[in-house]
Amino acid sequence: MFAPNGQPAAAPQVSPAQLAHQAMAELGLEAPDIKLAPPGDSPHGATVGFPVWMWTARRPETTGPISKSATAGGVSVMVTATLESITWAMGDGATVTCSGAGTPFTDDQAGRPSPTCGHIYSRSASSGFPIAATGHWRIRWSGAGQGGSDSMDLTARTQLAVREIRTLNSDAGGG
């Protein structure tokens, strides 16, 4: 770097937006950690007409908020990412968009629909329906008197078998 007649060398100017993108790359955001009730690895899967609960494990990398800062040339920025919603492609043609991470299932809720994120299948698929969960992240940054926002979508996939239970009513007494 050239500095005339003993003048101190000027530090190269760093764009706050460039620093923000550097910090965004270091956030470590992840696609949803898919959780289902019944679970995707269940030997019986879901049942036609019964609620399926969907949510993601709650960790900073999967739901946020998660923050990072970056500093260079006397400029500092802070970046914060938060999961805004998850769009679930259920494999049967249905798409469900849920704000936030969803509600984890507990055994005392069996047979009830999820209060925040669920689906009911109307047909079976013994080989399973492919499910894709896309987490929609909002990323905000500020520093050096500037600010902005960006978004990022990350997708995870799984499979869920869906069975149908059939009943037969008969008059065993012959009457």
Lowest-pLDDT choice from 10-24, 75-89, 104-118, 136-150: 10-24
Q: Cis (ω within 30 of 0) for the bond into 65?
A: yes
| Structural tokens at position 26 | 């270091």
Lowest-pLDDT choice from 41-50, 98-107, 131-140, 166-175: 166-175
Q: Are 47 and 164 in contact (CB under 8 A)?
A: yes
Provide the CA 16 distance to its chain's centre, in angstroms: 28
pLDDT at residue 126 in the model: 76
pLDDT in tens, 35-61: 999 998 887 789 999 999 999 999 999
Residue type at position 137: W
Is 16 strand, coil or helix?
A: helix
| Region 105-116 average pLDDT | 95
pLDDT at residue 41 in the model: 83
| Region 9-17 average pLDDT | 73
Q: How far apart are CA 82 and CA 103, in angstroms?
A: 17
Q: What is the pTM of this model?
A: 0.85
pLDDT in tens, 56-109: 999 999 999 999 999 998 899 999 999 999 999 999 999 999 999 999 999 999
The domains of the chain are located at 15-163
pLDDT at residue 136 in the model: 98
